[in-house]
Amino acid sequence: MTESALSSGKGGQKLGFFARIFLFFRQVIAELKKVVTPTRSELVNYFLVVVGFVIVVMLIVTALDFVFGQGSILLFTKQVEQ
């Protein structure tokens, strides 16, 4: 019987508390063995993409903040007529 069949309880056999914890850790270790470490060039590429994306979002937020700030100043300040 596979681990997933044991954990689902459909086989008529339900795992105990400690058996479920042990099964969880075995599955975590099995998933961690599938992880591939990126190469140096991939890591640099991912880093630059993330930094570029953060800068673009910062510029968008800054522009929106400026526009809404100026709009609120125009809306809520009384203009003196001369």
> Any idea which residue has 């522009």 for tokens?
63
Token pair of 17, please?
Answer: 């508390």
Given this model, what pLDDT does residue 79 score? 74
What mean pLDDT comes out for the span 68-80? 88
Q: pLDDT band at residue 78, thresholds of 50, 70 and 90?
A: confident
What mean pLDDT comes out for the span 43-57? 98
Q: Is the pLDDT of residue 72 over 60?
A: yes
Q: 14 with 6: CB under 8 angstroms?
A: no
State pLDDT tens for residues 5-49.
Answer: 555 555 557 889 999 999 999 999 999 999 999 999 999 999 999
